[in-house]
Chain A
């Protein structure tokens, strides 16, 4: 009798212990906090939602893949445009007060640069889902970028342009990405035998296009390469280009895909037809992964809504984060996370196969040559050629050769 009593007690104890263990592991639900900083107001402030929506959609569709008990909490903050001071402040608060596990987002380069030292000091991995100046990833060992660099689009564009045009001119916004676009394009264009007639940099906020356009018109180049921050600014440039008669003067407008960004095309009207761009993502791309992406987007956010390249960058960035969470079973260690990021590959991105370059922590992807055409009565960036495959950031490659 004694033994059976002992056995019962033991069994009960074991059972309750097991129950407790189970209960406590469920109670130890891991919340991964992501500090998401982007622009909801200010210059091109309509772009923030394109990024946030992509992140939330991905999380929603892939929640079940997360380890049991692990959830993701997205804490969003508005940096109100290209405001590095504010971005830095927000990042500091997210890290110190909210104790986030990761930082992500960022539309504008200056903001990303300001946040970089915080990522390093606090050892918080920072996933850049848009900002495109080449040098950003060198600013902190905790930065990984899933968006693009301006050299990735402008350099191949210059290569292509040098075969089609003899003379060129560039007009870019005067900040990091603009400088990159100008340098990347000019280098490739002149290497390919073209002649640059001039480069002009316009202020980031509220430039008076007329004077600048007139200057270009008077120089009479074969082609004009333009870079301005994606969004409504692009529409303004397009209008000014035609209104001042540059198209009639025989100057062809080209640029990285920022100038014909998918969500602005309907506002540009037919003046945009025929503009050729080089870019990594178009909402009109017909690969299955993209079709599924666009469909899911429209289903969730409305039939008239379209994702754009910021959405693609954020989508893939979230995929990368989720992968890191899965591999570490919800317990994120900053250095291990960076290791996972560095070796990440994604064959089914809406933009085709992508991966991260382990040396530079920057994105490796295809570049497509596109033209604005009417598809089904609507303007679209139609991908006519895969110009470059698995292209690493040309600027960093060139730096290595030095």
Chain B
């Protein structure tokens, strides 16, 4: 999969077009009040996709286990509230981030020594373990029933989550904004350049003396923290967490979203979830059987014919057919 290699060693200042997503979000807030719940889901998945993009697209680590961090964050936030009575939203977020980060460091140190199939399988095994734990430890996680009774205290003491999702939307938007700034900072730095180097040619990076292993763990951990926060946001805005956060379906859907948008580029993680979730909102209700087939089909098509995703296609069009 060839990601967009141009421009990321260049000017780190924010281009005008990069403000577009935020303008769209603001517009949606005012113009589509009935769809804000969907908007919240989109924002959360953008964050999740962004975290996966860091690992998959930039560092080139193929993992099917990102749900582990997402799910862990979701459950930590949920259990903290429902079982320990901690309802401050920021404390919940911090706890989720911390837990996910810890898992990221620990598992990263272990599995990043391996490659390809073994790595892939280990990531899946880790997620499966978490799923089993969540499934069995019913007193803590609610098991198959899910964890209800998650309460989130009003944000900053004043803003309570409402049925329409207004507060939730702003809250997630803020979180995403912060994450976006962080990711940009990372990518446009020597660290980011090295990530690209590691992905493209690991051997040479070793030869150049770059501490590949440590850097991989670092990016893996950062990505895990982001995924954990996304999971916590889901729990907070839903006031509920269920086993599906650790399931294969969610992981697969996330992959589709990312590939659809364009892996290896920041805005691929923005475009993908928007397109996917909006289309799903409409089509999945009309044709639930065909929807699932459609996702698979699109994934296959994209992989074979348009590996750069939507943004990749747009690039091609923009460059007038010149090979990218």
List chain A positions with a Cβ less than 8 A from chain B.
40-41, 77-78, 80, 82-86, 88-89, 92-93, 95-97, 109-110, 113-114, 116-118, 121-122, 133, 139, 173-176, 203-205
Contacts and interface: CB of A to CB of B under 8 A. Distances in A.
Contacts of B165: 92
Contacts of B238: 85, 88-89
B288 A84 contact: no
A80 B288 contact: yes
Given A77-B285, A117-B239, A84 B163 contact: no
B270 interface: no
Contacts of B312: none
Interface stretch (B139-147, B171-179, B214-222): B139-147
A118 B288 CA distance: 24
Interface string B232-264: 000000111110110000000000000000000
Contacts of B239: 117
Interface in B82-100: none
Nearest to A205: B144
Interface in B20-56: 34-35, 37-38, 41
A192 B207 CA distance: 77
A114 B148 contact: yes
A113 B138 CA distance: 15
Contacts of B289: 41
Contacts of B38: 93
A174 B240 CA distance: 19
Interface in B114-161: 135-136, 138, 143-146, 148
Given A114-B242, A175-B143, A96 B148 contact: no
B240 A92 contact: no
B288 A40 contact: yes
A113 B164 CA distance: 19
In this complex, which of B35, B146, B238, B288 has the most chain A Cβ atoms within 10 angstroms of its Cβ? B146
A110 B242 contact: yes
Contacts of B135: 174, 203
A85 B244 contact: yes
Contact of A110 (B136, B145, B163, B288): B145
Nearest to B41: A89
Contacts of B34: 96-97
B146 A114 contact: yes
B132 to A, nearest CB: 9
Contact of B145 (A40, A41, A97, A113): A113
In this complex, which of A82, A93, A114 has the most chain B Cβ atoms within 10 angstroms of its Cβ? A114
Contacts of B35: 97
Nearest to B250: A85
Given A109-B145, A205-B144, 4 more contacts: A85-B238, A85-B240, A88-B238, A110-B242
B288 A89 contact: no
A174 B163 contact: no
B145 A176 contact: yes
13 contacts: A85-B245, A88-B240, A95-B163, A96-B163, A110-B242, A113-B146, A114-B242, A117-B148, A117-B239, A118-B163, A173-B144, A174-B136, A203-B135
A182 to B, nearest CB: 12
Contacts of A139: 148
A89 B148 contact: no
Nearest to B147: A84
Interface residues of B, number: 26
A83 B163 CA distance: 20
B37 A84 contact: no
A204 B242 contact: no
Contacts of A109: 145
Nearest to A89: B37
In this complex, which of B135, B239, B240 has the most chain A Cβ atoms within 10 angstroms of its Cβ? B240
A126 B112 CA distance: 50
Contact of B144 (A41, A82, A117): A82
Contacts of A173: 144
Contacts of A85: 146, 238, 240-242, 244-245
B145 A84 contact: yes
Contacts of B138: 174
A113 B146 CA distance: 9
A92 B37 contact: yes
A84 B148 CA distance: 10
A383 B25 CA distance: 60
A8 to B, nearest CB: 51
Given A85-B242, A88-B238, A117-B239, A96 B164 contact: yes
A269 to B, nearest CB: 29
Contacts of A110: 144-146, 242
What 10 pairs between A and B have smallest CB-CB spacing? Answer: A175-B144, A84-B146, A204-B144, A84-B242, A110-B145, A85-B242, A110-B146, A176-B145, A97-B34, A121-B163
A175 B145 contact: yes
A62 to B, nearest CB: 28
A80 B250 CA distance: 14
B234 to A, nearest CB: 8
A118 B164 CA distance: 11
Nearest to A80: B288
Contacts of B143: 174-175
Contacts of B37: 89, 92-93, 96
